[in-house]
Structure 1
Amino acid sequence: MAFVGTSERQSSHRSTPGSQLTPWQVLRNLWRYRQLIYQLTVREIRQRTRGSFLDLLWFVLTPLLVMTVYTLAFSWVLKVRWDSAGTPGAPGSYALILFSGLIPFNVLADIFARGPTLVLREPGFVKRVRFPLEVLPVVAVAATLFQSLVYALVLLAADLLLRNQVSSTVLLLPMTYIPLVLLSLAIGWFLGSVGVYVRDIGAFSGLLPQLLFFLTPIAFPLSAVPESLRVVFLMNPLTTIVEDFRGVILFGKALPWGRWVVLTGSSAVFAWLGYVWFAKTKKGFAEVL
């Protein structure tokens, strides 16, 4: 399969001029490879669904089945309630709330899992002198984002079915994805590089999502966390992302713009640093592989 953008005109992965590491130049570089990113993302999605109609159908049905199981288990059998003010009270509400927290969490969890092998599994690209390796984490994030959006649509459909309404604040949903995508890119660039040199990093990075799950208000409201521990949860950027995602899609809450700007700005800095790290370290990939 031939990919657009792999010609001799593209920048070598053997060296990256310092001028290309400014935030503005990073955006220009990624925009330059947008068609290549699109092609590789389509390929990645097809690989995850195996390219067949039944696998694609299963890809769509999976969140529906998960949503159904959550509703039956937590709302009808266990009768679990979300003890927090301003939450939806219709049957199945806890399942909706739990599922809404898992959607953004699973994006980061997927990148933590795939990050260390993003470069390792593409040795053919590493050996191409002119191939822009920095697009590989972008492709992984884009494919995971596509899956997340499918889950979000299922959540909206379930919310409409169970509560017979969808809040107008759902229009702010794309804004909640911005810091999530930036953090995912930062993790992807960093782990993608480290994974080449430290092959065992995958065992460690695979444990981080499990720790983050218990440090993020996914299965319980933030108000249920003791005051003495709440600061630890608030230091976790995923807490803000989950709270904002859940707020706009289920609770009808507008984004706290001040907090959103701080989170997005800091996430952008981390993404830029991740890109710089990847660009500085990729020159040794071919020798290691």
Structure 2
Amino acid sequence: MNEIMKFIEELKKNKDLIKYLTIFDLKTNIARTYLGIIWWILDPLLYMAIFYLLVHVILGRGGPDYPVVLFTALIPLKWTTACLVDATSAISGKGRIIKQIYVPKIVFVIVRLLVNTVKFSIGAIIMLLFLAVYGVEIQTTYFYFPLIILAHGFVLLPVMILFAHIGVYLKDIKNMMQYIARMLYYLSPVLFTLDSIPENLAKYFYLNPLTTFIETYRNILLYGAAPLWINLFVIIACGMILLVIALRLLFKYENQYAKVM
């Protein structure tokens, strides 16, 4: 577990740098558009509207509660795909900085996670407001929401580290991730619910960890049901193992990244 201890030490030593880079990145994103932060509010609404129009209106699928079922899956999925796509260039995209000064490479990955988490938080607020307007009653299970977000982010981190490492050596991975992200739409219960497909097929969707998170978000936000604790504990345990492996890989090769780039 030396990797975990080193990881924690790097976070402590570089917390100010992480904070600065995160705020700088967010401000830069805002400055690049005319609408600024308003776009972060419109984005999840437009995102849902497109899928709702396609699936519910044009194809005639889903029931009367389809908008909330769709929204509670799309927002977490968007967060996941944004983190994974950004991770592929988290280190390779900082080549000029890395060649000039030493910065722990884990900093760049953490910044990408935090930036996308801020955007996700705004989308999550919009989602909760939408549920309230739609008439979904506030459940006591809402208190699980921050905890599930924390678990989701923890599981995303090691995968992001691995993609960031691979991105240094394989330049095309970001283009590949665009297609992998699209596959997640079909390998996760986003446009449908698991009870709408055969049971013998539905169980295979749980091989995708995102399925557990989506079903948990729907449970606590829509149905007042408990999270899928057993599934979550298994995924978090696997995430811890993957984090150790990913950190070991990162710390072993981070001094070689400048030469490769």
Q: TM over 0.5: same fold?
A: yes
Equivalent residue, structure 2, for 1:46: 27
Partner secondary structure for residue 206 of structure 1? helix
For residues 47-94 of structure 1, the C-alpha deviation after alignment (integer angstroms, 9 at most, x for no partner) is: 222267722112222223444566666667766434xxxxxxxx5x21
Choose which of 187, 191, 200 in structure 2 pairs with 1:228. Answer: 200
Equivalent residue, structure 2, for 1:138: 110
Partner secondary structure for residue 81 of structure 1? coil
Q: CA deviation at 1:134?
A: 1.1
Equivalent residue, structure 2, for 1:33: 14
Alpha-carbon distance between aligned partners in 1 of 2:120 and 2:135, rounded to the nearest angstrom = 22
For the 8 Å contact 1:100–1:245, the answer to whether it is kept is yes
Report the structure, 1 or 2, having the larger helix content. Answer: 2
Amino acid at match of 1:31: K
Residues 1:28 and 1:157: Cα distance change in structure 2 (over 3 Å):
same
For residues 223-254 of structure 1, the C-alpha deviation after alignment (integer angstroms, 9 at most, x for no partner) is: 22333333321111010011111211222112
Q: CA deviation at 1:100?
A: 0.9
For the 8 Å contact 1:169–1:248, the answer to whether it is kept is yes
1:214 paired with 2:186, answer yes
Partner secondary structure for residue 36 of structure 2? helix
Residues 1:115 and 1:69: Cα distance change in structure 2 (over 3 Å):
closer
How does the TM-score come out when normalised to structure 2? 0.89
Alpha-carbon distance between aligned partners in 2 of 1:287 and 1:149, rounded to the nearest angstrom = 37
1:24 paired with 2:8, answer no
Partner secondary structure for residue 218 of structure 1? coil
Q: CA deviation at 1:117?
A: 1.3
Residues 1:69 and 1:113: Cα distance change in structure 2 (over 3 Å):
closer
Alpha-carbon distance between aligned partners in 2 of 1:287 and 1:72, rounded to the nearest angstrom = 49
Give the alignment of 1:97-246 within 5 angstroms.
97-163=69-135, 165-246=137-218
Q: CA deviation at 1:286?
A: 0.9
How does the TM-score come out when normalised to structure 1? 0.81
Alpha-carbon distance between aligned partners in 1 of 2:7 and 2:77, rounded to the nearest angstrom = 26
What is the Cα-based RMSD across aligned positions, in Å? 2.4
Residues 1:28 and 1:75: Cα distance change in structure 2 (over 3 Å):
same
Residues 1:213 and 1:133: Cα distance change in structure 2 (over 3 Å):
same
Q: Where does structure 1 lack aligned partners over 5 or more consecutive residues?
A: 1-18, 83-90
